[in-house]
Amino acid sequence: MATTKKLTDIDPALLSAGIFNEDLCARCGTCSGSCPTKAIQANDRHFPEVDPEACIECGLCNTVCPGDKVPYHALAEKTFGWDPQEAVETFDGYVQKTYIGHSTDDTIRGKGAGGGVITGLLWDLLKSGEVDGCVVTRMKPDEPWVGEPFIARSYEDLCSSQGSKYTLIPVNQIIQEIRNSPGRFAFAGLPCQIHGLRLLMEEEPALKEKIVAVIGLFCGGALEMNLIPELLQSKGIAKADLKDFEFRGGPWPGRFRAIKQDGTAVDIHRYDYNVGAYNWLIHLYTPKRCQTCMDGSAQFADIAVSDAWTRGEDGQHKFKNRSRLLCRTERGLELVVQAMERKNLECEDVSGDPDYETYKTQTRRKRRGAPIRIQRWGGRGIAVPAYDIRLPGANGKEKFNERVSALCLWLGEFRFFRMLVLKIITTCLSVPFVEYRIWAKRRRNMRDKKKKKKK
């Protein structure tokens, strides 16, 4: 009599961590993208589920999973061919050259969150024939509150993918399609997705030959999938009325916007994204695994891209609608130089200029706050990812800030509290809080500039 194979019949050491512990799952899609028998599929919350009957217990999904372990030294070796100290001990990672730039295509620049740099790079590769497709993301046409990965093969495809998307998207599940498609590809993804991709490329040499460019996006943390539905509810917008959702819609730096079926754009909040939306919502909607992530700068990409938030003496942004490009590998530097030579990117070399250091909030959250949480949770017996690098120490202020952040995230697990906060930050009630934040940021920036002058 035939027996039915169960999940409990499989050795847990052969499966990716997220299958047994959701708190360790980055929801990057690497396990489903790597599975040779397609035994792993994502559920409606993007967590992996296994068909035990189809699983051959090869252990590949465990080997390439970046959820429970992040081998910085191995990733540095795979990315650079050596192990530079900066790649594992600093937030920005190893950088050969730094540029500030934007796309020269008016449509791409206009639709981009920060000058359309990533789309401009991908279009340069696609147009030149160096790649046959680009791994990007979009909001689903039939469910615009959910994101999905796809392979862009045309200018129109790339334009449809534009704009930041702060919701969880299991990008690496698209590897199944890449594996079965002819040609070469460029990949644009978040740090955790790149961790899994690099590990898988090392296991599959053929995949390493197919993916010829890896472009990373700086990441302060994704936002849970219930965010958009709850934002819509707070504004009285039905899902059926939603045509698209933009996280950086309108003039730079953009705002969270709901695009209705009749084409009407509804601003979700009163202020720009960086002071009136994202930096508030991450304290409510950041997934557990994102809370223990230390890589916010895509340290193992060929090129890492972030907004250029540098302010001048007047306190205003110096480079509106432009992005900062960190060229890490020789390949990454080659990609940027080629795009400039072919007039698809316009860039300025700012290497070594202290004004272009990483946005400090990112550093505090990822490189200072996350290690405190890892050590605190680990000491309480809570499962946390293992890093093969020394975790930095912390002072009293940093420990206090981490506790406050953790309290907010705990309160954010309760729907009543989330909806209460959304009612505040999406209405005029947010004005005093945001105005104070703007004033405090300007004051802090001016103080920092005075300190630099004295040095």
Give residue-wise pLDDT tens across range 295-354. 999 999 999 999 887 766 666 667 778 999 999 999 999 999 999 999 999 999 999 877
What local confidence, expressed as pLDDT, does residue 40 receive? 97
What local confidence, expressed as pLDDT, does residue 75 receive? 96
What local confidence, expressed as pLDDT, does residue 82 receive? 94
What local confidence, expressed as pLDDT, does residue 362 receive? 75
Centre a 10 Å sphere on the Cβ of residue 164 and count the other Cβ atoms it contains: 20
CB neighbour class for 263 (10 Å; exposed up to 12, middle 13-18, buried from 19) = exposed
Q: What is the largest CA-CA distance in the chain?
A: 82
Q: How far is CA 41 from CA 54, 173, 181, 187, 273, in A?
A: 11, 8, 20, 21, 33
Q: Which two tokens stand for residue 377?
A: 């949770």
CB neighbour class for 82 (10 Å; exposed up to 12, middle 13-18, buried from 19) = exposed
Q: Which two tokens stand for residue 219?
A: 């990441």
What local confidence, expressed as pLDDT, does residue 358 receive? 66
**Average pLDDT across the chain, whole number:** 90
Assign residue 109 a region (left: φ > 0; alpha: ψ between -120 and 50; beta: otherwise): alpha
What local confidence, expressed as pLDDT, does residue 307 receive? 87
* For the chain, percent of residues with pLDDT exceeding 90: 73
CA distance 365 to 294: 8
Which residue ranges in the chain fall short of pLDDT 50? 1
Neighbour order of strands in the sheet with 255-260: 242-249, 255-260, 265-267
Helix (H, G, I), strand (E, B) or coil at 444: helix
CA distance 69 to 78: 16
To which H or E segment does residue 245 belong? strand 242-249
Q: How far is CA 361 from CA 100, 140, 278, 279, 366, in A?
A: 20, 31, 12, 9, 9
CA distance 175 to 30: 8
CA distance 326 to 96: 7
| DSSP-assigned states of every residue in 101-142 | EEES-HHHHHHSTTSSHHHHHHHHHHHHTS-SEEEEEEE-SS
Assign residue 147 a region (left: φ > 0; alpha: ψ between -120 and 50; beta: otherwise): beta
| DSSP-assigned states of every residue in 366-431 | IIIIHHHHHHHHHHTT----EESSPPP---HHHHHHHHHHHHHHHHTTSHHHHHHHHHHHTSGGGH
Supply the pTM of this predicted model.
Answer: 0.94
Compute, in degrees rounded to 10, the torsion defined by CA atoms 107, 303, 45, 421.
-70
Length of the chain: 455
Residue 15: partners with Cβ closer than 8 Å, 6 or more residues away: 31, 50, 55, 61, 62
